Structure 1
């Protein structure tokens, strides 16, 4: 984020998964990410969402409320050049605030190494490694995404990502998405994805809008 800029990203998330043999449908509406450019190399991030989870067993049960508030910083490490990738580190924590059904008992930190290479003027490869703690147990994750501009304001992308928590089976997922630059500071997006193994959610859908100020 440029210094002095503010960006708001809001959207909708739908996921269908099976947990211990029980079907669970989760909605988040809206998800909201606030990004503030503090310095040329430093960005503040605040993430929150209103969500509900429907457990489709007998009896049917629904949980509603605010997900944990995530607060973090993104540090730009260096610019990319040729085969050498652009790099940044994102540190954040899920705080023990929000609705009782979703908030953690203690802060849950996460650190992410974000790398990207411009393969051409229109194609970019991004890849991330993450390490976090959930309920006191370590979780490791990865993301690999390829995006390409097919028109002046239209971008398509595809990605695979996954995570592995201690004592749990690894989850691997994939999705495809589209980004449309409606205005110079207003972007729309949509994606659809699915699980690649039994431990992962069955499918998910996301849609959103991003607004950056000043224009």
Structure 2
């Protein structure tokens, strides 16, 4: 995809933000939203009933394996979350991808990544040492460019947990299990989030996965979240490999907005 089309997509995202900003200001709800990006750890909260939450952004990732260099862009990577019931949300996720493979001969692939649909269900609230918990059920569908999509539907189950350590410091952690090309892939993530003020918070995170028959991939990242409004967030994160089997590094940035009822 050429630079002009990329610019149009970014302009569309910012236009969406400015079109909705007045609605967000008018919304009476003052509770600050929680998002599932830019980190890899899914939140244990769900979107309230009747609310649409859009989380979108840009991702660049570089990986070098066996003397072959892979560069991947995702723009925009978008997640749509709709509150159906008090404890249930509907989720739809996908991304436009642009990958470059370099190994003496440059090869470029671009198109729509796999479309994932599913739900998140709130299980229970935090009480004492018992963490807040939610269960995610997602399915990656064989939809999109053949270079990125799976051949068959691939389900994923994820348990999202959170403990509040102090009024401003939380620890979030996930346990996941999915199927990739017919192989089992367990995964984990752990995230420490510190809220410095109503408008600014930071996080550090470690995460990893191991596909059956492959080496484990372990990574770490850190990021910042900025809330100019309770229902508007800008974010950015940088990640790197903790083990040579994982991608070398990635950079991601984006925004999230919660539309009123």
2 CA distance for matches of 1:13 and 1:19? Answer: 19
User: Which stretches in structure 2 are left out of the alignment for 5+ residues?
Assistant: 1-46
2 CA distance for matches of 1:15 and 1:32? Answer: 16
Equivalent of 1:36 in 82, 87, 98: 82
Runs of 4+ deviating beyond 2 Å: none
Equivalent of 1:142 in 188, 191, 206: 188
2 CA distance for matches of 1:137 and 1:207? Answer: 31
For residue 117 of structure 2, what is the aligned residue in structure 1? Answer: 71
Paired residues for 1:108-123 under 5 Å: 108-123=154-169
Residue 57 of structure 1: how far off its partner (Å): 1.0
Residue 187 of structure 1: how far off its partner (Å): 0.3
Equivalent of 1:19 in 54, 62, 65: 65
For residue 62 of structure 1, what is the aligned residue in structure 2? Answer: 108
Residue 103 of structure 1: how far off its partner (Å): 1.0
1 CA distance for matches of 2:235 and 2:120? Answer: 22
2 CA distance for matches of 1:135 and 1:18? Answer: 22
For residue 103 of structure 1, what is the aligned residue in structure 2? Answer: 149
Residue 184 of structure 1: how far off its partner (Å): 2.1
1 CA distance for matches of 2:235 and 2:81? Answer: 17
**CA offsets 1:36-93 (integer angstroms, 9 cap, x no match):** 0000110100001001110011210000000010001001100001211000100001
For residue 25 of structure 2, what is the aligned residue in structure 1? Answer: none
TM-score, structure 1 as length reference: 0.98
User: Which stretches in structure 1 are left out of the alignment for 5+ residues?
Assistant: none
Structure whose residues are more often strand by fraction = 1
The answer to whether the 8 Å contact 2:67/2:103 transfers is no
Residue 151 of structure 1: how far off its partner (Å): 2.0
Task: Give aligned pairs, total.
Answer: 215
Equivalent of 1:207 in 253, 256, 259: 253
Structure whose residues are more often helix by fraction = 2
Task: Report the secondary structure of 1:188's partner residue.
Answer: strand
RMSD (Å) for aligned C-alpha atoms: 0.9
Task: Say which structure, 1 or 2, has more relative contact order (CA 8 Å, 6+ apart).
Answer: 2
For residue 39 of structure 2, what is the aligned residue in structure 1? Answer: none
